[in-house]
Amino acid sequence: MTGWRLGWSYWPEKCIEHIVKLIINSVSCVNAPTQYPGIAALDGPDDFINLMMKEFTQRRNLIHKLLNDLPGLSVVYPEGLFMLSQMLKELE
């Protein structure tokens, strides 16, 4: 499902009415071909997810280290994204 957008969130009961009003135009009309595999992914086993999370964590850590080792580059360690943000240090 790479590239397809299907998500969910969990909110306190008292917030749901307000959140629905806020995001209704952003999340409506998810197409059926996206919904069925999404349901299967949520209902299925987590073994593969755990393996992939471990692999992605190792990749993130390696890329973060290698980029920070480059002179003039400072990379922020991502806590919850799949992207790295970089800042160019002043070059001497």
7-53 confidence digits (pLDDT tens): 778 889 999 999 888 887 776 677 778 888 888 888 988 888 889 98
Contacts of 14 (CB under 8 A, 6+ apart): none
Beta carbons within 8 Å of 77's beta carbon, 6+ residues apart: 64
pLDDT digits (tens, 9 = 90+) for 74-83: 888 887 766 7
Given a contact cutoff of 8 angstroms between Cβ atoms, the answer to whether 67 and 84 are in contact is yes
**pTM metric for this prediction:** 0.54
- Residue spans per domain, the chain: 13-88
Query: In which residue are the tokens 């280290």 written?
Result: 65
